[in-house]
Amino acid sequence: MELSKREKRKLRLEKLRQESHEAHNEYEQRLEHQKELHQSHEKSKKSRYYIIGAVIGILILSILAYSVYSVNKPGPYDSFAKCLAEKGAVMYGAMDWCKYTQAQKGMFGKSFKYINYHEFQELPGIKKTPTWVVNGEWHENVQPFDKLSALTGCKI
């Protein structure tokens, strides 16, 4: 049974329509797949930004916590400096310009805040800075801790 030309043409047209419809469906599926890929890429980009932000936030908090800890941590010579002040030892110097006064301060580090310190102009007669006044005696120049300890009886 042979088909007529018209029927053959009809079948070919139907086949072409079907192939065109299938091609259109494949195209839409590819577009949908590309959209999904793009959306997942955008999500991974966002999550990457969130992770980077979280890491930076943790670093900042860690630095702040360490700073607070460092500021509040006692100095190594706190008890020695407090004892010197209790025993009446006074340091006179010129913190702004005298490198020796600055060196004496540096020896105490954070503990210098407990030293009874005054600018040299407050005591007439000072010729060298720093000058320590302990028990009424003047001791010019930077003083080592062992000498200050011996003069006051304070333990280093």
pLDDT for 42-98, tens place per residue? Answer: 888 888 888 999 999 999 999 999 998 888 888 899 999 999 999 999 999 999 999
Q: Does residue 2 carry a pLDDT above 90? A: no
Q: Which two tokens stand for residue 117?
A: 């310190």
Full 3-state SS string of 3-28: CCHHHHHHHHHHHHHHHHHHHHHHHH
Whether the CB-CB separation of 146 and 156 falls below 8 Å is answered with yes
Beta strands across the sheet bearing 90-93: 116-119, 90-93, 131-134, 137-140
Helices (H) and strands (E) in the chain, counts: 4, 4
Give the pLDDT confidence of 3-22 residue by residue, as tens digits: 888 888 888 999 999 999 99
Q: Which two tokens stand for residue 69?
A: 């800890």
Give the pLDDT confidence of 92-137 residue by residue, as tens digits: 999 999 999 999 999 999 999 999 999 999 999 999 999 999 999 9
Q: Which residues contact 113 (CB under 8 A, 6 or more apart)?
A: 75, 81
For residue 119, what is the enclosing H or E element? strand 116-119
pTM over 0.75: no
Q: What is the pLDDT of residue 24?
A: 93
CA distance 151 to 89: 9
Q: What is the pLDDT of residue 41?
A: 83
Q: Which CATH class is domain 78-152?
A: alpha beta
Q: Which two tokens stand for residue 145?
A: 């801790």
Query: Quick one: pLDDT band at residue 38, thresholds 50, 70, 90?
Result: confident
